[in-house]
Chain A
Amino acid sequence: MNLIEDIVKLKENGLTLQEIAQRMNMSLGKVQYRWNKYRQQQTPSNHELLSQPVLKEEKWTMPFEYEETNVHLMPRTPDSLYVYWSFSQSTKQMAEQHFRTKWEDLPSLLKIYDVTDIDFFGHNAHRTFEVELPPMTNNWFLQSLEPGRTYITDIGTRTFDGSFFTLLRSNPAETSPALYNSLHDEKIDRWKHQIVDQPEWLENFSTYSYYQKIR
């Protein structure tokens, strides 16, 4: 009786049957026999499983998205980027209230801005285009972009008079430039000669700070 309990205990601690056999000074075959017998006894029949639903632990599932206002644009190829987003309850509520329309009934759109070398404030992009999104969408692959450009993506809706209304704005991200794109680059020159103290190009990572809006 005690023998199998010891085996089970050692097994739970991560030992192999061989290790257990060594530890208990038994032959491997004996340990294997005991262990297999124990396992057979432990496997409940289908009938038993059905009658004991309480024992089933609810499995954690990956959330589809997190209830937070968040949008992130990621580099991918010279002609595509990837963006994913989610909304907090309060942003949804504000949109509903401002438009006096249910969230589900608000059109969902994505607006892409080419902001290459621009200090973008919302209205000064080189080019923009909009994509109508299917309902329940929370991510999108942006295709057919131009290489070597910087983009920003807004997630938003449309006003009754047809204007795009921004709900979320992404970080900027770059499409990789084409091969052999330039033989000279002024930005790197200014950087090398310390004419500027901050690089004039996009560096990928945000110094995320929890209190970033508090001074």
Chain B
Amino acid sequence: MSNGYFSLVLHAHLPYVRHKEANRLEERWVFEALTETYIPLLWVLEEQPENLSWTLSFSSPLLELLNDPVIQKRYLEHLDLTIKLVKKEKKHSTNQEEQKIIAFYEERYKKIMETYQEFNCKVTDAFKRYMNLGKVNCITSSATHAFLPYVQTEQGVRAQIFAGVQTFEKYFGEKPKGFWLPECAYSPGVDIALAEAGIQYTFVDEETLLRSKPVPSKGIGAPVYSPHGVALFSRNQCISETIWNSSVGYPGDFDYREFYRDVAYERDNEYIKSFIHPEGIRVDTGLKYWRITGKTENKDWYQREWAWNKVQSHAYDFCHRITEYLHTNEQSYPPQLITAPFDAELFGHWWFEGPEFLLQSMKVSTEQNITWITPQEFLIRHYQDLETVRPCFSTWGRNQTGEVWLNESNAWMYRHLHHCERKLVQLAARLSNEKPNIVVERYADQMVREWMLASSSDWAFIIEGNSATEYAKSRFQEHIERFHELNRSIENGTYHPDEIANFENQYPFIRTKDLWQFFKNKHDEYVASQYNEQKAVGKKKILMLSWEFPPMVVGGLARHVFDLSRKLVEQGTEVYVITSSVPGYPEHEVNNGVHVYRVAGKQPNFESFFHWTGSLNLAITEQALALANKFDFDCIHAHDWLVSVSALAIKKELNIPLITTIHATEHGRNNGITSPLQYEINQKEWELMDGSDTLIVCSDYMKNELTGVFSIPEEKITILPNGIDPEQITYRSSPSSEEKKRDDHELLLFSVGRVVKEKGFQTIIEAADILRNSGRKVRFVIAGKGPLLDELKEMIRQKSLEEYVHLAGFVSDEERNEYFAKADAAIFPSHYEPFGIVALEGMASGKLTIVSDTGGLREIIDHEKTGLKVYPNDPESIVWAVEYILSNRERCQDIAKNGEEIARTVFSWDSIAEKTSELYETEQNQTTKVGGIV
């Protein structure tokens, strides 16, 4: 007795070839497989030795076909017709050899008919009976034999596996414990769904184990567990090959029946025409009288006794090989296991004598004490003795790779299948939150069926194999087309019970309900339930685009967008800000009621800033359109050229108004356009202005720039000043008492901003130089960082002004407020300043504020009433202001008070947000009115 096991596994599968109309050629695949394989396998089961069992897998399409009353009836007819032909043959035959064979078929077909009728045409019931007797262990496969690693979504894999399991349960009354992976195609993650479906074991190729990490210590001598706990039994190639290999295997023996020779092609048309296809196409009748004979076209008569002798000797040879293998590869615990899986149709259909060979092998095995075991029994005995490894993607196809199902001839198919999967997820997300609609759900279920029928691995296999490709292509295309038709009916609201009934009847495959539910997703259900409540409130939804947002603060933009957004929220608008990601900050947060989404481009470290923004814009649009899947935005509000590309793309896609605030322009910052990069930015600015429905600027000054430099029509521009929040600049702790009180003739002037040329800080240093030389005790503090910092430092060092000008660098909001509180005045000598929010902050802090008479600053301050104005780029002018303060102390306090009043009322966010809302409203109404013309 050998120490080891042998396990036979047959996998029975046909694609779903049931057609409503009769006489489709492909339907004969079922008839042939019944006649030659499935019914003869029942005979094997009837006669096989006691205490011996093997495994048989049925795919869902096959189960559905075998249990379809129409197919059953057509098969009976087909049998009738064949029996008639046998009779006719018997009558006409004159050759004695031929008569012997005809007699064999007469007997055989009689028996086939008997067996088929014995079980009332229900072949699966027969197998179930033998399963209950312990003679065979039936398992199943995926719903339509999809090549699972090439399914895109987890939902799709689950649908295939669970629907397969359910179909099996329907016909066998119990859940399968084993599962046939179509094409033995395994990939990491398949085992999750298998385990969830209660599957304990499945089958892979031997290379799957040999490429695993780590390689199992028993090699292919024992099954292994996948990471998620499914036992993987690997095909033993060496033993299997003796059967399936067409050149070295048994089926090619010259004494076996020739597959390709059939009486259909041997008889006159007139004689045979009622036994072949009604259209006159010659198709196999199943009566094959010849043996392989040799590598010749001249085939000799099939001799049953010869074939039978070969069956016996092959069965002995096979058992001998098994014994040899188990002996040579003996291993201690668990004992060596040979798993030999095959397509069931190999036995009988392709190899006519196959079922007899199996039966003989079983008998010889019993004689020779070779232990046959089913994987299920093996697991009961050895479940504790198996290793866990992580296997990789592999198949039982050519080179154990995916190349048979994915190559130049069939790769195009997957785009369509994956598209269907995603559509189904989308549909499920929608349906799971809508009021149930039985008709729409039937559509959804049928869409799942169409996707399933299209994803059958058979189509890709046939197309790569170049036979019957037309049928495979047209079936694939048909199901994809039907999928889209069904989807269209749902989308257009033209769904109708008659239409869906028609679709269902065309392919009555897996008629269970709620197939679409497999495509649900917990996250989608959550989102659907969350956002529906919000929708009910009916608030306006604004999509706010800004490349900077707190905590990312580069200039005044971040602050502006934040203040505006939260004020809008306070006033009853919903605001969704999309901005750039900041390491350590959440991708999504709700900050003061504002939804903030932080996104990163695919190349977040792009060296070129310009292309970095391009990359960011793609990400912004992706996020915006994803949000728009769930709810409708009313307006887009974009800020500056950095979001130009996404703002315009989103506007086009969603067809909603785009409102853009231009905070500054490249032309203004650089006093003209000189470099190629500036030119590109200038172009982006123009495109954004041109593509926006309306523009907001903060000052007359900016409006003039837009009309002048960019030729923007005046009526497209609205001036809304920037606002400030006095809360943000209030200094909370009292100035420290140690601080020595300044003398009346001493002054502290504070300035803050990005240290760049246009802010004019260098003018302060020049003024300080003059003041020092004239003996004034005036100190300046400049807070902020920027590219010009080093240059300013050097300037101060050269003029030895360290005591008079202090560069504070970056300061926190708190420190800034402290400086405002301590200073006598604030000064902002910018050369270019579209608005000048800092000036407002100076005013709101109650300090006299000195600004350049330029840009937006000019418009904020009324000279000698709410602040002081100086000439830009003119140190003498700053000197004048200092002298003014020193000699008009009380007057200056009044001016500061007036300034504070103006800053806190006219420039309050309350009023600005209100006006912004009104603008949204106007734009929306206009777009609605113009309607289709836009």
Beyond A74-B406, A154-B602, A211-B629, whether A167 also contacts B401 by CB under 8 A is no
B227 touches A208 (CB 8 A): no
Q: Please give, as numbers and ranges, the residues of chain A lying within 8 Å of B227 by CB-CB distance.
A: 188, 191, 199
Q: Does B21 contact A (CB under 8 A)?
A: yes
A177 touches B211 (CB 8 A): yes
Beyond A159-B608, A169-B602, A214-B627, whether A209 also contacts B521 by CB under 8 A is yes
B523 touches A77 (CB 8 A): no
B399 touches A97 (CB 8 A): no
Q: Does A127 contact B (CB under 8 A)?
A: no
A188 touches B389 (CB 8 A): yes
Q: Does A16 contact B (CB under 8 A)?
A: yes
- Chain B nearest CB from A179 CB (Å) reads 5
- B618 interface neighbour in A65, A91, A182, A207, Cβ under 8 Å: A91
Contact flags A173-189 to B (C-beta < 8 A → 1, else 0)? 01011111111110110
CB contact list, A74-89 vs B, under 8 A: 74-78, 80, 82, 84, 86, 89
Beyond A98-B614, A210-B629, A214-B630, whether A122 also contacts B604 by CB under 8 A is yes
Q: Please give, as numbers and ranges, the residues of chain B lying within 8 Å of A205 by CB-CB distance.
A: 151-154, 156-157, 189-190
- A72 interface neighbour in B157, B414, B426, B587, Cβ under 8 Å: B414
CB contact list, A1-42 vs B, under 8 A: 11, 14-19
- B645 interface neighbour in A74, A98, A141, A178, Cβ under 8 Å: A98
Residue in B406, B416, B587 whose Cβ sees the most chain A Cβ within 10 Å: B406
B605 touches A174 (CB 8 A): no
Q: Does A137 contact B (CB under 8 A)?
A: no
A182 touches B401 (CB 8 A): no
- Chain B nearest CB from A55 CB (Å) reads 20
Q: Does B169 contact A (CB under 8 A)?
A: no
Chain B: residues with Cβ within 8 Å of the partner, total of 101
Q: Does A46 contact B (CB under 8 A)?
A: no
- A94 interface neighbour in B20, B189, B215, B646, Cβ under 8 Å: B646
A90 touches B211 (CB 8 A): no
A188 touches B394 (CB 8 A): no
A94 touches B521 (CB 8 A): no
Q: Does B390 contact A (CB under 8 A)?
A: yes
B645 touches A17 (CB 8 A): no
CB contact list, B481-533 vs A, under 8 A: 481, 484, 521, 523-524, 527-528, 531
Q: Please give, as numbers and ranges, the residues of chain B lying within 8 Å of A43 by CB-CB distance.
A: none
A176 touches B211 (CB 8 A): yes
A159 CA to B607 CA, complexed, in Å? 12
- B22 interface neighbour in A15, A68, A70, Cβ under 8 Å: A15
Contact flags B383-403 to A (C-beta < 8 A → 1, else 0)? 000001110111000010111
Beyond A182-B215, A183-B215, whether A211 also contacts B603 by CB under 8 A is no
- A166 interface neighbour in B615, B621, B645, Cβ under 8 Å: B615
Q: Please give, as numbers and ranges, the residues of chain A lying within 8 Å of B215 by CB-CB distance.
A: 180-183
A182 CA to B214 CA, complexed, in Å? 5
A93 touches B429 (CB 8 A): no
- Chain A nearest CB from B375 CB (Å) reads 22
A76 touches B406 (CB 8 A): yes
- Chain A nearest CB from B577 CB (Å) reads 13
CB contact list, A144-191 vs B, under 8 A: 148, 154, 159, 161, 163, 165-167, 169, 174, 176-185, 187-188, 191
Chain A: residues with Cβ within 8 Å of the partner, total of 78
- A204 interface neighbour in B74, B149, B608, Cβ under 8 Å: B149
CB contact list, B132-155 vs A, under 8 A: 149-155
- B214 interface neighbour in A121, A188, A207, Cβ under 8 Å: A188
Name the residue on B nearest A13 (C-beta). B20
B615 touches A165 (CB 8 A): yes
B419 touches A66 (CB 8 A): yes
A62 touches B652 (CB 8 A): no
Q: Please give, as numbers and ranges, the residues of chain B lying within 8 Å of A163 by CB-CB distance.
A: 606-608, 611
Q: Please give, as numbers and ranges, the residues of chain A lying within 8 Å of B600 by CB-CB distance.
A: 121
Residue in B388, B603, B608, B626 whose Cβ sees the most chain A Cβ within 10 Å: B603
Name the residue on A nearest B480 (C-beta). A62
Residue in B19, B156, B189 whose Cβ sees the most chain A Cβ within 10 Å: B189
Q: Does A60 contact B (CB under 8 A)?
A: yes
Q: Please give, as numbers and ranges, the residues of chain A lying within 8 Å of B425 by CB-CB distance.
A: 208-210
Q: Please give, as numbers and ranges, the residues of chain A lying within 8 Å of B329 by CB-CB distance.
A: none
Q: Does A56 contact B (CB under 8 A)?
A: no
Name the residue on A nearest B398 (C-beta). A77
A121 touches B188 (CB 8 A): no
Q: How many residue pairs bridge A and B at CB < 8 Å? A: 241
A90 touches B652 (CB 8 A): yes
B588 touches A18 (CB 8 A): no
B187 touches A75 (CB 8 A): yes
Q: Does B785 contact A (CB under 8 A)?
A: no
- B611 interface neighbour in A89, A93, A159, A203, Cβ under 8 Å: A159
A90 touches B621 (CB 8 A): yes
Q: Does B213 contact A (CB under 8 A)?
A: yes
A214 touches B527 (CB 8 A): yes
Q: Does A102 contact B (CB under 8 A)?
A: no
Q: Does B128 contact A (CB under 8 A)?
A: no
Beyond A208-B152, A211-B524, A211-B528, whether A203 also contacts B393 by CB under 8 A is no
Q: Please give, as numbers and ranges, the residues of chain B lying within 8 Å of A80 by CB-CB distance.
A: 403
- Chain B nearest CB from A97 CB (Å) reads 5
A206 touches B390 (CB 8 A): no
A143 CA to B604 CA, complexed, in Å? 28
Beyond A84-B415, A98-B614, A191-B227, whether A211 also contacts B626 by CB under 8 A is yes
Q: Does B238 contact A (CB under 8 A)?
A: no
CB contact list, A106-147 vs B, under 8 A: 121-123, 139, 141
B390 touches A179 (CB 8 A): no
- B477 interface neighbour in A62, A94, A187, A214, Cβ under 8 Å: A62
B615 touches A204 (CB 8 A): no
A179 touches B211 (CB 8 A): yes
Q: Does A100 contact B (CB under 8 A)?
A: yes
Q: Please give, as numbers and ranges, the residues of chain B lying within 8 Å of A47 by CB-CB distance.
A: none
- Chain B nearest CB from A42 CB (Å) reads 15
Q: Does B421 contact A (CB under 8 A)?
A: yes
Q: Please give, as numbers and ranges, the residues of chain A lying within 8 Å of B152 by CB-CB distance.
A: 72, 205-206, 208
Q: Does A201 contact B (CB under 8 A)?
A: yes
- Chain A nearest CB from B828 CB (Å) reads 35
A174 touches B649 (CB 8 A): no
A121 touches B615 (CB 8 A): no
Q: Please give, as numbers and ranges, the residues of chain A lying within 8 Å of B481 by CB-CB distance.
A: 60
A17 CA to B279 CA, complexed, in Å? 12
Q: Please give, as numbers and ranges, the residues of chain B lying within 8 Å of A16 by CB-CB distance.
A: 22-23, 74, 77
B645 touches A215 (CB 8 A): no
Q: Please give, as numbers and ranges, the residues of chain A lying within 8 Å of B211 by CB-CB distance.
A: 78, 176-179, 181
- A77 interface neighbour in B154, B187, B402, B625, Cβ under 8 Å: B402
A70 CA to B278 CA, complexed, in Å? 47
- Chain B nearest CB from A117 CB (Å) reads 12
A212 touches B214 (CB 8 A): no
A183 CA to B608 CA, complexed, in Å? 46
- Chain A nearest CB from B604 CB (Å) reads 6
CB contact list, B604-656 vs A, under 8 A: 604-608, 611, 614-615, 617-618, 621-623, 625-627, 629-630, 644-646, 648-650, 652-653
Contact flags B363-379 to A (C-beta < 8 A → 1, else 0)? 00000000000000000
| 4 residue pairs, one from A and one from B, having the closest CB atoms | A203-B189, A213-B626, A77-B401, A211-B527
Known contacts A188-B389, A204-B190, A211-B523, then 7 further A-B pairs from the complex at CB < 8 Å, ordered by chain A residue: A74-B414, A76-B401, A176-B211, A184-B214, A204-B393, A207-B154, A209-B425
Residues of B at the A interface (CB closer than 8 Å) are 19-23, 70, 73-74, 77, 149-157, 187-190, 192, 207, 210-211, 213-215, 227, 278, 388-390, 392-394, 399, 401-403, 406, 408, 411-412, 414-416, 418-419, 421-422, 425-426, 429, 477, 480-481, 484, 521, 523-524, 527-528, 531, 587-588, 597, 600-608, 611, 614-615, 617-618, 621-623, 625-627, 629-630, 644-646, 648-650, 652-653, 680, 683, 687
A sample of 7 cross-chain residue pairs with beta-carbon separation below 8 angstroms, ordered by A number, consists of A91-B618, A154-B602, A181-B213, A181-B215, A210-B524, A214-B626, A215-B587
